[in-house]
Chains A and B, each alone.
Chain A
């Protein structure tokens, strides 16, 4: 795992660990001045009472989380939130994870396999250091393919390149689940639409309360406005307006920069 950009926190949250299902997320606030940050769970251990959060450090809140050590506390944690992934036995399923999207993809992949599906997993990252959960994904699937954009590990290329090959070879894939950066999900769905295979994605808009009371996370799916926090986070990937989602995700770029500069200036 990349030393400074991808972070893995194991948090003691017994009640959430007990109740969480694949695909769900939590919201946390590190301290009193912190914002509410939604993060998908990359796995839970109900017996130990812990949940796993794996994320990329992209701004002040995630940078602050990276400074947490074993024994530190997170002031507020709320969950499990969102609708759980709908798991059923349907036959052949392909689970595609990009970057830190693999974190939430892991419990979902495991669940599809445990439900009796034949699961192929494709995980990709920009470079070897950003790949996560390779061993776990191997154990959670019947067939694992790994890609890196720069060819430093596995197949040199995008997850969509490998997916296209598989879809050319196998005509009986029933469902594809794709989770990763928005452009990845957008192009993945463009591809799977060509092949006519149902595709579910997990969206990651900005959120505030994450319980459906503010509308910050609104996304357009099939021409209708949905709240990602309660109607999602998973939606039919062929129906999502990805361009709108990207624009809305960029709404606070200026403020994010200010926060990060202040954080760095404070010597953290």
Chain B
């Protein structure tokens, strides 16, 4: 797949991969064996008919390929870009046993982009109006999927979003260079054209409670996401220039601080940046820091390369762009100056011991191995938990010990009547596609309830 040169792209916010040309797409799609028992489909959380859409591309019928995708996936342009296909469909591909698997993700992106840029998005037919109203709280991937499914089934759907733009993590979390915001807006516009109402600037839990919503709506879906930043809880963490990844990425992606002063929201442009964590969010933060002008960006992670949760593709992109990796290293405390700005971090070297409850080998400090790293900015990207704002204000909604909503994983039903939940607020931080899968299941369950 043709990509921007690492040194060039590390200083701009344009997408890294250019995308397939029709020629490349046809070539790649004809590698598919059209297996009678497609293993790839077993790996897809939303059960896309992969051989079918791939065949349509190989036949040059891109419009039908996009339609085929949309039968099971409301956001194909998004998934084609951010799904960890290497752990899902492509991992099970038969061609992949002897050769490179068929590039399902890139083909999905090609078909979705083709349809979007040609400007002829066909609207599927909706079922007759049922007279039932559903409130979806959160416009991230789970909420958008629930809305997209239920509107087609004839229900009246309104999405309530706390931020001023819809998309959830798609708009605030994933950077422009991995997922252009125009695409997210285009996907939301598609839903609005289908009849979904989107109300931004509504913080359910403050402007209205779930119980107040239930007076007007027949069912409520909670797709709140993992919106509580996790901090290291080490001394000095409140020095200026130390951001949670949520804040750093929200400033850059949602508020477009990378265009300051054209856009009013500022963001620190550290020259020497330390990013803690090694998931996709840490890679996004590190690569954003480079694009904002950093000379040195270091990923500091307490385990080793094998345990890093980020997509290999994202680690690869980060390395090519010049991000340094300090593995088996954990932070002990931050250092700062008299103005309260961070100047460095004291670290400790680690080694791997026995596995902990996550199944990964536990990092064990090496005594006496303290050393200091200079930095003028830091991003803490070690995970996000459940934002308690709404869950703790909703009687009858059972939460588990860590504050996540307890919901049936097959139906999304919570312990509160007429209330479903799915995505990160149930499982903890996961992926866009898993949230969509949860949204699909909840939509089916809600539909069953509304029509029984």
Contact = CB atoms under 8 A, between A and B. Distances in A.
| Residue of B240, B250, B261, B264 with most partner-chain A CB within 10 A | B264
6 contacts: A35-B266, A211-B162, A212-B389, A213-B229, A213-B246, A248-B238
Interface in B162-182: 162-164
Contact of B231 (A33, A215, A256, A259): A215
Given A209-B250, A211-B389, 20 more contacts: A33-B262, A79-B206, A80-B207, A81-B203, A208-B247, A211-B203, A211-B227, A212-B389, A213-B227, A213-B387, A214-B229, A215-B229, A225-B231, A230-B388, A247-B240, A250-B240, A251-B268, A252-B266, A255-B260, A258-B261
B396 interface: no
A147 interface: no
B389 A76 contact: no
Chain A contact residues: helix, strand, loop or mixed: mixed
B339 A250 contact: yes
A214 B246 contact: yes
Contacts of A211: 162, 203, 206, 227, 387, 389
B41 interface: no
Given A79-B206, A255-B260, A215 B246 contact: yes
B255 A36 contact: yes
Contacts of A255: 260-261, 266
Nearest to B265: A35
B228 A78 contact: no
Nearest to B201: A78
Chain B contact residues: helix, strand, loop or mixed: loop
Contact of B340 (A216, A247, A256): A247
B244 interface: yes
B264 A78 contact: no
- Which 4 A/B pairs are nearest by Cβ-Cβ distance? A247-B340, A255-B266, A214-B247, A213-B227
A109 interface: no
Interface of B: 162-164, 200-203, 206-208, 227-229, 231, 233, 237-238, 240-241, 243-244, 246-247, 250-251, 255-256, 260-266, 268, 339-340, 384, 387-389
A61 to B, nearest CB: 6
Nearest to A248: B240
A79 B352 CA distance: 47
A163 to B, nearest CB: 29
Contacts of A248: 238, 240, 340
A34 interface: yes
Interface string A198-231: 0000000000110111111010100001000010
